[in-house]
Amino acid sequence: MSQGYIIWFTGLSGAGKSTIAAALAEVLREREQRVEVLDGDVVRTHLSKGLGFSKEDRDTNVRRIGWVCDLVSRHGGVAIAAAISPYRQTREEIRGSTARFVEVYIDCPLEVCIDRDVKGLYAKALAGEIPHFTGVSDPYEPPTNPEVVIPSHAESLDASVARIVNTLEELGYLPTVAAVEEGA
């Protein structure tokens, strides 16, 4: 059984984490990887229902996602987490508890995220209707040394996915297409 790994997407709401994670998962499945995507919105509905948005509740949510990702990766799967995960220390805690961790920072300006906001959450947060909204009334702490930085406002979805795939190949987590063809 091959070793699994975790790909952890972090960034503001609307930055493109879920979109890029889904496209990456498709590419990895085409390359015969066993992939599970843990999307922040879906996890909050099922695994973290009842948690609020205090720092403690956000940290609990992120730790739960990390625990599930670790289970998937320990059993040879690729766990992709796409969650805001606003606090650097909690992300580093997850990194430190797993053997193979790739942090992908979706670096998108707040103004672009606001323009992309299909749910209207930023408008509500800016109007004071949503307290503790990351990037508006609550902090977001960008990673200091992510393996991949994706400027989602400045490059195509395909280019973003290719950048991540290249990094996974360079790290030795994903066999190159040439290596797979040689083994066939």
Q: What is the pLDDT of residue 46?
A: 75
pLDDT digits (tens, 9 = 90+) for 64-85: 999 999 999 999 999 999 999 9
- Residue 1: pLDDT above 50? no
Lowest mean pLDDT among 31-45, 92-106, 168-182: 168-182
**Residue 123 within a domain:** no
- Residue 4: pLDDT above 50? yes
Q: Is 55 assigned a ligand-binding role in the annotation?
A: no
- Mean pLDDT across the chain: 92
**Residue 119 within a domain:** no
Give residue 51's pLDDT band: very low, low, confident or very high (50, 70, 90).
confident
**Residue 135 within a domain:** no
- Residue 49: pLDDT above 80? no
Q: Is 171 assigned a ligand-binding role in the annotation?
A: no
50: phi then psi, degrees, rounded to nearest 5: 100, -15
Give residue 48's pLDDT band: very low, low, confident or very high (50, 70, 90).
confident
Q: Is 71 assigned a ligand-binding role in the annotation?
A: no
Question: Which residue has 């297409």 as its token pair?
Answer: 177
Q: Is 83 assigned a ligand-binding role in the annotation?
A: no
Distance separating alpha carbons of residues 110 and 156, to the nearest angstrom: 18
Confirm if 168 and 123 have CB atoms less than 8 A apart: no
Q: Is 11 assigned a ligand-binding role in the annotation?
A: yes
- Residue 19: pLDDT above 60? yes
Catalytic residue (one of 2, 48, 73, 85): 85
54 is catalytic: no
CATH of the domain at 47: 3.40.50.300
**Residue 63 within a domain:** yes
Q: What percent of the chain has pLDDT over 70?
A: 95
Lowest mean pLDDT among 17-21, 96-100, 153-157: 96-100
3-state SS record for the chain: CCCCEEEEEECCCCCCHHHHHHHHHHHHHHCCCCEEEEEHHHHHHHCCCCCCCCHHHHHHHHHHHHHHHHHHHHCCCEEEEECCCCCHHHHHHHHHCCCCEEEEEECCCHHHHHHHCCCCHHHHHHCCCCCCCECCCECCCCCCCCCEEECCCCCCHHHHHHHHHHHHHHHCCCCCHHHHHHHC
Number of folded domains that form the chain: 1
Domain that holds residue 81: 5-110+140-183
Q: What is the pLDDT of residue 118?
A: 86
Q: What is the pLDDT of residue 41?
A: 80
**Residue 127 within a domain:** no
| Other beta carbons less than 10 A from residue 120's beta carbon | 10
Q: Is 2 assigned a ligand-binding role in the annotation?
A: no
Q: Which residues pair with 82 in a beta bridge?
A: 9, 39
